[in-house]
Every structure is written in structure tokens, then in C-alpha cells.
Amino acid sequence: MLEEASGRWWNYKAADALRSHVEGRVWTDLDAPFVEAHASALISAGTATYVALLPAYLVYLLEHDAYNEVPFFVAGELTRTDDPVDERIFAARLAALGAEQRSIVRKVIELLTMRAPMERAMRAALATWRNLPNSEQ
């Protein structure tokens, strides 16, 4: 999973620890300590890894009072930017999610806009997801 070409792991110092923890597992196996230890992993994740890990991060945010960096890293990866490289990455990740998955992500973001301390960051993400062209929804 971490070997996919779209990943940017050279920039992620805990890539080996992440790899050893996720290989052969599914997202439901990834607990709160894992998500907290790898709060920024989604930034470096390639498309397939992002799609595989995102549910664990969203469930973590729904189930925990996340007064840490996790909600801000996640919100950042769920928010479109003007940077052409980031836009290409966002578009590829979005395309890899099915329509039902995209709908669930949007609903989770809506819930997270009402949770401290992440409400502001998630409102920015929600603006992205509410403004997706019909072809991306």
C-alpha cells in the first residue's frame, strides 16, 4: 500500500513505523493511538493509501475529543487549495472514492463542523465538499 507511486513518503519520518503497523490490516484495525501517532500521514499518502486510511481518521474524530493536531491535518487534506499539485492530488483522491463514500465523507464533515476544537477547520473542508461539481459528488 505504501509503495504506490502517488505517495510522498520521503517527507514522512515515521513511514517505516506506519508501514509495519498497517500492512495486512484494514482501517478498523487502526486505533486511536495509531491515528494520534500518525496524525500527518494523510499528507504523504498516495491515493490508495489515503482511501484506505481516511475512514480510520474520520471515525477517530467522531469518537474522540481531539484536542490535538489530528483534526487539522485531516481537515487540510479534505479541503481544496489553489495549488496545482495539491489540486491534482485532491482530484485523484476524490475520484478514487465511490459516490457513496463521498456522500459519507461529506456527512461526517458536516457533523465535525459542530465539534470543538475542529469546527472552523472542518467548515473550510465542508465548503469544499458542498461545492464539488456534480460529476464529483
Dump pLDDT digits (tens) for 37-95: 999 999 999 999 999 999 999 999 999 999 999 999 999 999 999 999 999 999 999 99
Residue 2 lies in a domain: no
Q: How far apart are CA 36 and CA 133, in angstroms?
A: 33
Q: Give the pTM.
A: 0.93
Q: How far apart are CA 57 and CA 76, in angstroms?
A: 13
Please count the structural domains in the chain.
1
Q: Give me the domain span that covers residue 120.
A: 9-136
Res. 5 pLDDT band, cuts 50 70 90: low
Q: How far apart are CA 56 and CA 28, in angstroms?
A: 6
- The DSSP symbol for 7 reads -
Residue 37 lies in a domain: yes
Residue 9 is predicted with a pLDDT of 84
Q: How far apart are CA 125 and CA 76, in angstroms?
A: 7
Q: How far apart are CA 123 and CA 133, in angstroms?
A: 18
Residue 3 lies in a domain: no
Residue 2 is predicted with a pLDDT of 66
